[in-house]
Every structure is written in structure tokens, then in C-alpha cells.
Amino acid sequence: MIVGVIAPILGAIIVRRDLKKEEIVGTLGFFGVIGNLFKITGFTLVGFSFAKYWPLLAAMVPAAVLGARVGRVLLSKVDERVFLICFRLMLGMLALKLIIVDGLSAIFT
């Protein structure tokens, strides 16, 4: 669970008032790429084959580019204060989801 939730953990660590919203998103994006490279390496080392998923992986590339462009436009329209409030709310909801849904389901199954 910890390996899959690197962005919420880093988000809680780096969110500060002295950072601009673009700096927060950029930092999380950078560490997301690094984390995914480690996961790809790890899955490859244990024998997982990505080859049979090539159509899905090929579709993810343009979707990621489009999502980044749309995200950049939306981010530029959001006020700094509103961004920080929404970001903290999302981090809180993710934490509750991890604790209540994922944590309790692991205990009771």
C-alpha cells in the first residue's frame, strides 16, 4: 500500500504556503515519474511482462499528454488559496479512504 500511494504521502510533506501551486504540482509530478520508473524496474525484475499490455500502454501516452495540457490550463485558472484548500481536502479524503476502506477491508478479509 505504501508503494502505491507515494503522491499523497509526498503531498502531505511538501504542501506549504511558501510554495506556488505550480511548484507543488511539478514536485509531485517529478517524484511520480521517479516512483513509476522504480515500479517498472521492480516489476520487470520479478518477471512481469509488459508486452501483452502494449495497446493499453500505447493509449496511455496520448491520454497522459492530453491530461497534462488540460491540467495546466485548469491550474492556471485556480487561485492559490483555493488550490491549497482543495489540495488539503483531497489529501484528507485520500487518507480517510486509505484508513477506512483499504485498511479496514484488509483487517476483515
Domains in the chain: how many in total? 1
How far is it, in rounded angstroms, from Cα 21 to Cα 3?
24
Residue 78 C-alpha from the chain's centroid: 19
pLDDT digits (tens, 9 = 90+) for 25-63: 999 889 888 888 988 899 999 999 999 999 999 999 999
Band the pLDDT of 82: cuts 50, 70, 90. Answer: very high
Closest CA to 24 of 86, 67, 66: 86
**Which residue range(s) make up the domain with 68?**
3-108
- When the pLDDT of each residue in the chain is averaged and rounded to a whole number, the result is 88
The owner of cell 505504501 is: 2
| Predicted pLDDT of residue 5 | 66
User: DSSP letters of the chain?
Assistant: -TGGGHHHHHHHHH--TTS-HHHHHHHHHHHHHHHHHHHHHHHHHTT---GGGHHHHHHHHHHHHHHHHHHHHHHHHS-HHHHHHHHHHHHHHHHHIIIIIIIHHHHH-
| Predicted pLDDT of residue 36 | 86
Say if CB 33 and CB 10 are below 8 A apart: no
pLDDT at 2 over 60: no
